[in-house]
């Protein structure tokens, strides 16, 4: 993956641990990553955006090659980013369900799991017209969200939790920075 963006020496010393954001879709990972990057002078990298830039739309990757292929691409990205330092990384909601990705990304960074109430997630996801969410196409998106959260609960619980339900991206970033400097 030679196209991987790396941290700029002008904005980081290249030794600082990465700040890694994970959590369910709609928790604000990408938005908070951009806020953290602005506040810290680090480069923000969204793993889903990176995969799409290098390999095409995620929906097409799933349709044409299957989930196993997509998960292999995630592992490759995790391995590459795990060797970098001084980044803010926002992952896809399922990326850190894979223990190999956890090993790669925790070796070089501190992971925060962004959370939100089911109602907040549903409101945010329904309001986001820019992203197609197959999950919401079913008859009961609220139940689908609850079921996926339950299935991912143990994996998400392994990381520091930051509830974003009532917070702005700036407030979430402030909370994370406070924890990093505590």
When pLDDT is cut at 50, 70 and 90, the band that residue 1 belongs to is very low
Does the structural domain 23-180 have CATH classification 3.40.50.300?
yes
The residue extents of the domains of the chain are 23-180
**Which secondary structure element, helix H or strand E, spans residue 164, and what is its range?**
none
Rounded-to-integer distance, Cα 177 and Cα 130, Å = 29
For residue 40, is pLDDT > 50? Answer: yes
3-state secondary structure (DSSP) of residue 93: coil
pLDDT for 135 equals: 64
CA atoms within 13 A on the CB side of 64: 7
Q: What is the reported pLDDT for 8?
A: 39
Question: What pTM does this model have?
Answer: 0.90
Burial (CB count <10 Å: 0-12, 13-18, 19+), residue 120: middle
């Amino acid at each position: 993956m030679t196209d991987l963006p790396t941290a700029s020496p002008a904005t980081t010393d290249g030794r600082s641990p990465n700040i890694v954001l994970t959590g369910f879709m709609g928790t604000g990972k990408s938005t908070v990553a951009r806020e953290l990057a602005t506040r810290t002078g680090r480069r923000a990298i969204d793993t889903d955006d990176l995969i799409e830039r290098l390999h095409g739309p995620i929906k097409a990757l799933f349709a044409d090659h299957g989930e196993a292929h997509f998960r292999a691409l995630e592992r490759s990205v995790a391995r590459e980013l795990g060797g970098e330092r001084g980044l803010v990384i926002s992952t896809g909601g399922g990326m850190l369900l894979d223990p190999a990705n956890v090993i790669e990304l925790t070796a070089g960074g501190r992971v925060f799991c962004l959370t939100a109430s089911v109602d907040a997630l549903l409101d945010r996801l329904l309001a986001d017209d820019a992203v197609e969410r197959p999950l919401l196409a079913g008859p009961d998106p609220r139940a689908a969200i609850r079921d996926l959260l339950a299935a991912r609960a143990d994996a998400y619980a392994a990381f520091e939790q930051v509830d974003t339900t009532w917070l702005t991206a700036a407030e979430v970033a402030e909370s994370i920075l406070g924890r990093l400097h505590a």
